[in-house]
Structure 1
Amino acid sequence: MVRAYTQEHVYRHPWDRVTTASWRKFTDSPKVLSHVTDVHTLSRRLDPDQGTLCTTRSVTVRSPQLPFILRRIIGQDSVVCHCVESTVVDARNRSMEIVVRNVSLRNILEVEERSKYSPHPVHPDRWTVFQQETSIRCKPLSALAAVAEKVEQRCAERFLQNSAKGREVMENICKYLEAEASSATSSAAVGI
């Protein structure tokens, strides 16, 4: 059984500020996103003719409280999971798409998160729409549908908590970037 979740959020910040914040969210807020323990850029490719940037990063996360049944299967209370994040930024069309998949523990749990940042249809120069879809599948328990459903539900609850933290971090970074840009504009106007 695969469980899918979708969320949408509107940032009241322009697309360029929100996407800048997205690149910085793991490094600027380590205390809030404490489940993220390590991030490394594996590849980066810029295509100036197409106006696209493609990156691949490894992201290591720690899950301190696994559902009971997974703790029994794995034999641990917490687990470190390695993920691969693929990002495509299309500057011309103002689109940023991110796909994250776990690469470790796939024999137990498969998680795929797809996110997209795009200009708001009504206020394209001022606001940004964030869309996120996550699918979760507990593999060894698929024969035991009721147990698998509970495990998937617990994982989904944890995902939703972390997602809310991520949106909070993004809002804080956007506000910081806005203040930074405002300060730079004020300084330039005064001639400093």
Structure 2
Amino acid sequence: MKVFSSSCTFDYTWAEVSTANWRKYCPWNDKTTHVTAVDTLSRSVDPETGILRTERLITCKQTVPAWVRSILGGSETSHVHEISYVDPKAKKVTMVSTNLTWSNILSVRETVTYRPDQGNKTRFGQEAKITALCGGWQKIKTKIEEASVERFGENAIKGREGFESVLAMSRRVFGEEVEKLQVAM
């Protein structure tokens, strides 16, 4: 198993970030054009804690080389299962994503958190545990995991850039609603 981790601070309030998070795969985010559908499977609020739990299926167009698909089978479509928890009291968003496609070959479990930081900023944390499931071929397994971590890191940079554009657009378009939400909290 290899682990990718990163963190950064967004120059936006927790209310802005936690609200914009639901729009990160929107059409104006040119960094997520590979996402073809986001389906909400379930959504509930715990009456005791106030935590919003949402389960989603994210459908993407894969960028796996055609020769790999021809050897291993499969299509250009991949699916990711995501469960998120929004805790309004603790002001924390946690999202846990797991790949469903090719999970018998490569398992990726990503955890993302958003928490308030000093000066009306929001701290972003990301960790991905990547495990190649190739039996006893340790050298191949290690190479696959290393390549996957490297690619995950490249995609993480694009993801942050795209989310920054969503945050900026959300502030321009939805600024009043976010201010009302902040006052209510």
Q: Where on the TM-score scale, by shorter chain, does this alignment land: which range? A: 0.7 to 0.9
In structure 2, distance between residues paired with 1:67 and 1:148: 20
Percent of residue pairs identical: 31
TM-score, normalization by structure 1: 0.82
Secondary structure at 1:21 match in 2 = helix
Matches of 2:92 and 2:138, distance apart in 1: 38
Moved over 6 A (4+): none
Q: How many aligned positions are there? A: 178
- CA offsets per residue over residues 93-143 of structure 1, 9 Å max, x none? 1000000011231211111000100011x33xx100000000111102x42
Q: Deviation of residue 145 (structure 1)? A: 1.6
SS at match of 1:27: coil
Q: CA RMSD in A?
A: 2.4
Matches within 5 A, 1:1-192: 2-29=1-28, 31-66=30-65, 70-71=68-69, 73-75=71-73, 79-120=76-117, 122-123=118-119, 126-140=120-134, 142-180=135-173
Q: Map Cα deviations across residues 40-70 of structure 1 (whole Å, 9 max, x no partner).
A: 00000023442210000001222213497x5
Unaligned runs of 5+ in 2: 178-185
Quick one: structure 1 residues 50 and 148, their matched pair in 2 at CA, closer, same or farther if it must change by over 3 Å? same
Per-residue displacement from partner, 1:121-175 (whole Å, max 9, x unpaired)? x33xx100000000111102x4222222221222222222221121112111211
TM-score, normalised via structure 2 length: 0.85
Q: Secondary structure at the match of 1:92?
A: coil
Moved more, 149-158 or 28-37: 28-37
Cα separation, 2, equivalents of 1:30 and 1:175: 11
Alignment-mate amino acid for residue 46 of structure 1: V
Contact 1:58 1:83 survives alignment (8 Å): yes
| Contact 2:36-2:61 at 8 Å conserved across structures | yes
